[in-house]
């Protein structure tokens, strides 16, 4: 997802960009991430893909 817009992700997953944005916001909130970049960095760490 790195570098992709919400629309691009939505198109790939067959969901709307708004739905992608909603899910990203929920993940940011749950992980306490301050930005999309911070969220992706945290997810990479959790998945062991530093």
Q: What is the pLDDT of residue 2?
A: 62
Chain centroid, CA 50 distance in Å? 16
pLDDT digits (tens, 9 = 90+) for 15-45: 999 999 999 999 999 999 999 899 989 999 9
Q: Which residue has the tokens 């909130």?
A: 29
Residue 1 in any domain: the answer is no
Between 49 and 13, name the one with better pLDDT.
13
In this structure, are residues 20 and 10 in contact, taking their beta carbons and an 8 Å threshold?
yes
Count of the separate structural domains present in the chain: 1
In this structure, are residues 39 and 24 in contact, taking their beta carbons and an 8 Å threshold?
yes
Q: Domain range spanning residue 29?
A: 6-46
pLDDT digits (tens, 9 = 90+) for 5-18: 999 999 999 999 99
Residue 16 in any domain: the answer is yes
Residue 20 in any domain: the answer is yes
Burial 11-48 (b: 16+ CB within 10 A, else e): eeeeeeeeebeeebeeebeeeebeebeebbeeeeeeee
């Amino acid at each position: 997802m790195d570098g992709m817009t919400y629309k691009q992700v939505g198109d790939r997953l067959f969901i709307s960009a708004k739905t992608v944005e909603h899910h990203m916001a929920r993940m940011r909130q749950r992980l306490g991430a301050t930005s999309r970049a911070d969220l992706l960095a945290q997810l990479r760490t959790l998945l062991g893909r530093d």
